[in-house]
Amino acid sequence: MKFLSKIKLIFGQKYLATPWIVFGFLFLLTLSFKLIYLFDFAIRSPDEFFYIQGAKSLLDGKVLYKDFGEIKPPGIFFLYFFFQRFLDMKTS
């Protein structure tokens, strides 16, 4: 019964109405479900490989669609580019 009342307290309106608590919970939930994906170092999707390579090319100063091409829209390459740049992951 104590356990049930604790669960009720956690999922009560007070905690659910606090955005940062909800965000933290969702982040931990996502992270726990993503552990295998995050630590499995192989790239399982060929698309993901294209995005990473595209972002690396952009970091090397190459021009999207001119120096390398894909039918995929530009946003995905720029997104990976910005993240790689932001996280200073530029490889030689």
Partner 1 sequence: MIIVKGINTVFQTGSAFLIYLIGKKLFSIKTSFILSVVFILAVTVNVKFWPGHIMLLSLCPFFIFIYYLFDFTKNNLKISLFLSSFFLSLSFLLSTNFIFFTLIYPIMLYYIYRNSLKTLYFSLISLFGFLIPLAFFLFYLAINNAFNDWYWWSVEWASIYSSHYSLLRKIWSFLDSFRIVWQWTPLLIFSFTGFFLLMKEKTWSLNKLLIIVVFFISLISRLMFKGAERYSLYLLPVFILLLGVFLEKKIVQLKKNISSF
3-state secondary structure of 69: coil
Q: Do 62 and 70 contact (CB within 8 A), yes or no? A: no
* Contact residue for partner 1 among 9, 16, 60, 90 (CB under 8 A): 16
- Give the type of residue at 18: T
* Contact residue for partner 1 among 6, 7, 60, 72 (CB under 8 A): 72
How many chain residues interact with partner 1 (CB under 8 A)? Answer: 44
Q: Do 57 and 67 contact (CB within 8 A), yes or no? A: yes
Q: How far apart are the first and last CA of the chain?
A: 59
46: which DSSP letter? H
* Contact residue for partner 1 among 3, 5, 8, 39 (CB under 8 A): 39
Site string for partner 1, 48-67 (x = CB under 8 A): x--xx----------xxxx-
Residue closer to partner 1 by CB (options 6, 72) is 72
